Amino acid sequence: MREPREKMWNIALVGNPNSGKSTVFNKLTGLRQKTGNFPGVTVDVKEGRIQLPGGQEVMLTDLPGTYSLYPTASDERIVAAVLSNKQDPHFPDAAVYVADATHLEKHLLLLTQLLDLNIPVILALNMSDTADEIGIKVNTGILAERLGIPVLSISGRTGENIQKLKLEIEKLLEQPLVRRTGFYRHTEQEKQVAEAVCLNLNIQNSYQALLIAHHHDWLPFLSTQSRSTIHAITEDKSFNFLRAQVDETLERYDRFTPIVQDAILHPPKFPSTPTDRIDAIVTHRWLGPLLFFTVMMLVFQAIYDWSTVPMDLIELFFFKLNGWVGTHLPEHWLTELLTDGILAGLSGILVFIPQIAILFLLVTVLEEVGYMARVVFIFDKIMRRFGMNGRSVVSLISGGACAVPAIMSSRTIGNWQERLITTMVTPFISCSARLPVYAVLIGLAVPAKRVFWFFSWQSLTFGSMYLLGLLAALGSGYVMKKVVQTREASYLAIELPVYRMPHWKNLWLTVWEKVSAFMIGAGKIILIISIVLWALARFGPAGAMEEAVVKAQTTAKTEQLDERAAADLMAAYQLEASYAGYLGKLIEPAIRPLGYDWKIGIALITSFAAREVFVGTMSTIYSIGSSEDEVMLREKMRSATFEGSDQPVYTLATALSLLVFYALAMQCMSTLAVVRRETGSWKWALLQFIYMSLLAYLLAWFVYTIFN
């Protein structure tokens, strides 16, 4: 028995993608889990506590899915980095290896690598219920004897043998550590390299030393001196990394394939399963993409329709709460900070939750039933031309509802370059927040005259905004593919699982995890920026706000305005006199070439909180802030002129210019906050803001010049 210790035992859950590992994790831990990040990277790590039959608690860490310890994606690198460094906080005391019982031969490569690292391991054959249904019989006794480890059949979906798995974990921890004979027989050259690395880095395990030699140029825990030493060793031994990896993989397959053949009895002839019949349509060259776009449009429509009621309720709640606070607290700038700053910021955070929850609910359903793996297969080749991959399609289409959950869904993309490009270009897709802006501007300047039997100029203009966003996303992706270089190879290595009903507990846990990540990660940034924007609109240079109040009161008295109109006028004058108003006038020379005046400048600044703020800001500026009547707003804007002249502001050229600007510019602090969280750096968020704003400015100027 191992010596007792104060630190909690750490058990790693390891396996290939699509092995059902996450379902097993959720079954073992339930709600006793948390999500964090591996040190120095943005890849999520899930940890949860489980209580063993004897009463002892252990920590279970769900490592990202990978096919081997020779990674091709950022998520897979995490596993290699953790398992090749015994000082890593996530290095396991033991491991549960989850493998798909229906495709066992494809899942044993990584298992044999764990064995060579001398990590105590249990082989859990998941999806045993599915294996029984299709006639696959697994002799766990033969596997246990030949591999020298405990083996049991489980089902993460039904919970079969989950308690027995806990018992096996407890037994494994009670057993003394035994040094195994290596599963893989090293070549003479590999022995020399491994011995030299062991000697220089004080490592005991020869396969761990070999892995470090293979990955020494990127492993984060190695010092510069250690990298140089290992580089010198591999150079001296003329070590061919790629050739060695290929030979090792083939050697391992040669050794464990006979074991699988002896332990597993397949049916004489596989029947034509429902999965085969469905795939004949789903993965069809022409029907597959058509079906996908139909499904995605239904998902988009569901996000838009289902989220309306909860979003309205959230906004109504904060409206009522704001009114109650404003009524029961004394008039003071601190009260305004609470109502217009903090509560408004919280509203801006929570109002996104229905869309995020619905998106991840539907995407997880598609993932659980096995459909999303087919999507990757269908679109991978096309999207690679634009620096992305098949999974990017989901993010881009989801961006039509909201870029925030769409960017979060890009986590499923393994390759760092493709995930980054998807994150950077998704905001180009016109989201629902742009709709109020489009409605006002198109109704203001574009005639409703029909061009064809069914279409009007307004509908064509509306549709062209979506087309413009899509072209900008694909074009930018193509450019970034050329600019952002990476040595990380990108392959389509994906297993198409059988279609199955989703595991509902796993579904709700995933949705809860994503919503919590948004609220905690992006929420605090949104709240801070909301308070800053409130301060800019609330305060102004010394004496300016007081003069605005006097001017508004005098004008209201002269024109005999009612209480509501007087309040609107007061808000307009105060906004003009605020720091936000001064910023609007400050940037007017820069935006005047686009046909904009200082009032539009204020709207551009305040729209950074969210694009739909444009309508509310313009309503305030034109003294109809209390009503926010779009018809009245259009009339006021239509009659607006530049100061000191009779030249109208909102011509067709200006309206089209504004449409292009709002279609392309990054004006959503929520999106920037999420980009910062997903990339782990403000560098990419700021670069995205600058690039999108510059592109929007240039194309808006081009459109204004043509139509003016």
Separation between Cα atoms, residue 23 and residue 506, nearest integer Å: 6
92 and 195, same domain (yes or no): no
Separation between Cα atoms, residue 609 and residue 674, nearest integer Å: 14
96 and 142, same domain (yes or no): yes
Query: What does the pLDDT read at residue 628?
Result: 44
Separation between Cα atoms, residue 124 and residue 25, nearest integer Å: 12
132 and 216, same domain (yes or no): no
Residue type, 626: S
Please check whether residue 284 lies inside any domain of the structure. Answer: no
200 and 86, same domain (yes or no): no
Separation between Cα atoms, residue 14 and residue 27, nearest integer Å: 15
Domain that holds residue 128: 10-174
**What tokens appear for 396 in the block?**
């881009």
Please check whether residue 675 lies inside any domain of the structure. Answer: yes
82 and 199, same domain (yes or no): no
**Among 574, 422, 438, 529, which residue's Cα sits nearest to residue 484?**
422
Query: What does the pLDDT read at residue 191?
Result: 92
Please check whether residue 322 lies inside any domain of the structure. Answer: no
pTM over 0.85: no
Separation between Cα atoms, residue 362 and residue 301, nearest integer Å: 11
Please check whether residue 687 lies inside any domain of the structure. Answer: yes
**Among 707, 595, 601, 592, which residue's Cα sits nearest to residue 652?**
707
CATH number, domain at 60?
3.40.50.300
In our burial notation (b when 16+ CB lie closer than 10 A, e otherwise), range 463-499 reads: eebeebbbebbbebbeebbeeeeeebebeeebebbbb
> Residue 136 forms beta bridges with which residues?
none
Q: What is the mean pLDDT of residues 547-575?
A: 81
Query: What does the pLDDT read at residue 487?
Result: 61
Confidence of residue 530 (pLDDT cuts 50, 70, 90): low
331 burial class (0-12, 13-18, 19+ CB within 10 angstroms)?
Answer: exposed
Rounded to whole angstroms, what are the CA distances from 117 to 94, 187, 234, 517, 608?
A: 11, 17, 21, 34, 52
Interval 90-109: pLDDT, tens:
899 999 999 988 888 888 99
77 and 39, same domain (yes or no): yes
| Helical H segments across 388-490, by residue range | 392-398, 403-408, 416-425, 435-445, 457-483
Q: Quote the number of domains for the chain.
A: 3
Q: What is the mean pLDDT of residues 413-419?
A: 79
Interval 187-233: pLDDT, tens:
999 999 999 999 999 898 999 999 999 999 889 899 999 999 999 99
Please check whether residue 665 lies inside any domain of the structure. Answer: yes
Please check whether residue 316 lies inside any domain of the structure. Answer: no
Please check whether residue 5 lies inside any domain of the structure. Answer: no
Please check whether residue 203 lies inside any domain of the structure. Answer: yes
Domain end among 199, 216, 239: 239
Mean pLDDT lowest for which of 31-35, 47-51, 116-120?
31-35
694 and 546, same domain (yes or no): yes
Mean pLDDT lowest for which of 233-237, 311-315, 490-494, 623-627?
623-627
162 and 228, same domain (yes or no): no
Say yes or no to pLDDT of 683 above 80: yes
Domain end among 141, 174, 207: 174
Q: What is the mean pLDDT of residues 564-591?
A: 81
